[in-house]
Structure 1
Amino acid sequence: MKRITLLAIVLTFMVNIALAQNSEIQNAYNNNRYAQQYIESAEKFKSQNRVEKSQKEMNNAKTMLQKAKTSIDNAVQHEKTINDPKAWHYYGIIYYNISSYPEFNDIEPNALEKSFEGFSKIAELDQSYFQDEYQSIASSIISISDRYAIMANENIENDNYVEAINNLRKTYEIKKSIGQNDNEALIFAAQYATIAKEYQSTIELCDILINNSYEAPQLYQYLAIAHRELGNDDLMLQYLQTGREKFPEDESLINEQINAYLKLQREAEIIDQIVEMATKQTDNPIYYFILGTIYSNAESSLYNLETALEYYNKAIEINPNSVDPYINIGSMYIDKSAELYKTANDLPIDKVKEYEDMIAEAKSYDEKALPFVEKAYELLPDDENVKRVLLTLYRRLKMNDKANALESAE
């Protein structure tokens, strides 16, 4: 008789515990519902510019959410309900609501992360419940992912690129948990990893995109930049070539490939593509200017002053107010003049005729340089280097009036 009575007491105690924990789930649900009602009321008052009333309702909502949090935390920690998918479902909802308003941040600073943990736990515990509630759960998970994307945008606006990359990664990983590949989040993360010079992260992110069969020209551009900066020149060229094969008309990849070969001093391998771009973009002087710099480089196997001058002049025709071609043409002639002056001065003293011929030729190059340096000074009147070169030319050409006027302009 005593054993039966004791067993009845134990069973009653166990039933009461189970009911108490189920009651915690119900309390969490009810308090969250009350909080939502207060939030809706607060937003209504706010739209009516009734600030004090709105704040009061938000305070009430905060109190309810604190109670909801306490109840749901108890429920998911208790052995009787720790594996209850409904408890974790409410856990995710409640923490999401806490994360949604700055007024509730001090309840739990990591509420958004905890919200995702709650929804993720459901699939681990009960696939049947997860499938039955899939639309609701998936919608909530997408909302969490979108919140991280918004946070990433805010990070970018504040130039906090490293944190933006982390939040974009979370955006991707959270959606992936329900079978969605947000490749756009990853390509943005790769972009800002490249800007932030986090080149290893760039490579990791792009590798994921390649595994996802994602294709975009910037994918290969970012990989090329990352490998270039890490000193992996072969991989840089490999990704550029792959990108060009897949996106032959993409200008960013073309320019990146041109810059890569120029940096490696392998301009002869890329010259045809630069010429092609120059002829395609008849209103863009940059490619003619690049061609001019290649052919005016005395260290290049393509060095040819006449060809360089031809391309520089084409750049000037397209944009007469672009100063760089004028500076480079002037420099090209002045370098040739300086070379002749040095050679003449090194001649034996009895080589008078040769000396005079070389000085005359040097002077002719100075005369050719002059109009281009004058134009450069006209476009850049505050540039001291251009002014100094022009003054030197005036002195060497015995144009003392102009030299004095230029000096007095200081």
Structure 2
Amino acid sequence: MKYVVFILVFFSSERVISQDLISVASTFLNDKNYIEAKSSIDEAFEKTTLVDNPGAWFMKARIYHEILLSNDRNLEQFKQNRNEFVGTIVEAYNKTIALSVRTSNFNVLAKNQIEILWAYGINEGQRLFQAQAFDKAIEAFEIAKITKPSESRAYISTAVSALYAGKYQLAIDNYLAVKDIDDLPRDGYDGLILAKRNLRVSDQELLEVVGDARFDYPNHVPFIIEEVRTLIRLDRLDAAESVLNTAVKRNPNDARLILRQADLFDIIFKDAYINGEPERSERYFEMASTNYERFLNRNALHFAANYNYAVMINEQANRVYTRINLMSNEEYEMRGRESEEIGHDWTRKALPYMEKAWELKPGDTKVMQALEVFYKRLKLDDKLAALNGN
């Protein structure tokens, strides 16, 4: 019986001591003496009697929370592992919630403090991001991530900050983390694709990411174009054409798809000729021409379309000139000049598009070199002199 009394007295006295330490910690907290407040609450938690006390957990959370927000350099010693420190705060608030009834003050206050801590991480991160302090913004967004790990916003914000900081793997990790808890938004896929590109992953790996983006957003034109570009780099021209044909059927008036299809047909036009398929090459030339002209009728000031169309037409001229160069003297006498005129006709057709490209981007080296060739072929000496500043 004496042992039982002793045990009861021991635990009773331990509980009283713990409660006294909590009161002392509360007093120090009110006085903003955070070092002593932390020391008191840590000492109180060395007593096993507090593990089921929501008030004690709440007091611990509040003291640690205030230390986190304080700019006092003397408190930095406690925050050397910032994420771990934030985790301790969140754990204490969650313990408060778990150990108290839903309608109690401790329960309500702890839930409010969780929201406040999360909002602090988000707002501080946004402030630092706007100030272009991207590394510090990442640290701030980590607070929000730890506070509410199932909330996707902090992961997205961390990923964007990591992109701007050049930390591409970190960006990828956070974008992928979003996919584990929520749908990745379109701009999230944009960032994920950009990060993968900057890490110079293989085109096959990039295609897998683009495929996921297309699965979630099948009609988003930029993802369609990204998939086509990647397939082209993988030399999967048939697959690229299939993707584009389907997209154009669904969006027949989308100028971006019309131009991308023209560019693809242009590539196949050249590829088929190299592979000894002249009829296929000519068929794709006609298809590409139709799309280029359709696009330029509505977008006459598009530099790349003008330049690429001119180069494609000039490829037809070059093929004629190449055949002429391979002629014997006898063959040249019979049909050489006639063939030259065919080549010149192709050059004449290409010329206005290349001149428009020059008008849109005067001084472009590639355009200037092309125009010099065109003017010499067609003996347009005045234009050649003007081009060279004479």
Q: TM-score range by the shorter chain?
A: 0.7 to 0.9
Of the three residues 39, 45, 63, the one matched with 1:73 is: 39
Of the three residues 284, 294, 306, the one matched with 2:286 is: 306
2:347 aligns with 366
**TM-fit CA distance, 1:316:** 0.6
1:175 to 2:148 alignment: yes
**TM-fit CA distance, 1:117:** 0.8
**TM-fit CA distance, 1:292:** 1.6
1:365-384 correspondence runs (5 A) = 365-384=346-365
Q: How far, CA to CA, are the matches of 1:160 and 1:267 in structure 2?
A: 43
- Provide structure 1 residue ranges, at least 5 long, that are not aligned to the other structure: 1-7, 34-63
Deviates further, 243-252 or 89-98: 243-252
RMSD: 3.9
1:28 to 2:25 alignment: yes
SS at match of 1:401: helix
**TM-fit CA distance, 1:313:** 0.7
1:136 aligns with 109
2:380 aligns with 399
Of the three residues 295, 299, 302, the one matched with 1:322 is: 302
Q: How far, CA to CA, are the matches of 1:79 and 1:100 in structure 2?
A: 22
1:260 to 2:192 alignment: no
- AA at the equivalent of 2:42: V
CA 1:402–1:249: 2 relative to 1, 3 Å:
closer
Q: Write the deviation string for residues 139-162 of structure 1: whole angstroms up to 9, x where unpaired.
A: 222322222223432453355556
Q: How far, CA to CA, are the matches of 2:184 and 2:359 in structure 1?
A: 47
SS at match of 1:248: coil
1:230 to 2:201 alignment: yes
Q: How far, CA to CA, are the matches of 1:347 and 1:152 in structure 2?
A: 71
1:120 to 2:91 alignment: yes
SS at match of 2:59: helix
CA contact (8 A) 2:313 2:350 kept: yes
Aligned length: 361
SS at match of 1:309: helix
Q: Percent identity?
A: 17
CA 1:294–1:142: 2 relative to 1, 3 Å:
same
Query: With structure 2 as the length reference, what TM-score do the two structures score?
Result: 0.75
- AA at the equivalent of 1:175: K
- AA at the equivalent of 1:120: E
CA contact (8 A) 2:247 2:257 kept: yes
**TM-fit CA distance, 1:397:** 1.1
**TM-fit CA distance, 1:322:** 0.8
Of the three residues 214, 226, 240, the one matched with 1:270 is: 240
SS at match of 1:230: coil
- Provide structure 2 residue ranges, at least 5 long, that are not aligned to the other structure: 1-5, 273-279
**TM-fit CA distance, 1:280:** 5.7
Query: With structure 1 as the length reference, what TM-score do the two structures score?
Result: 0.72
Q: How far, CA to CA, are the matches of 1:273 and 1:80 in structure 2?
A: 65
Q: Write the deviation string for residues 1-47 of structure 1: whole angstroms up to 9, x where unpaired.
A: xxxxxxx9xx99x96x97666444323312333xxxxxxxxxxxxxx
CA 1:232–1:142: 2 relative to 1, 3 Å:
farther
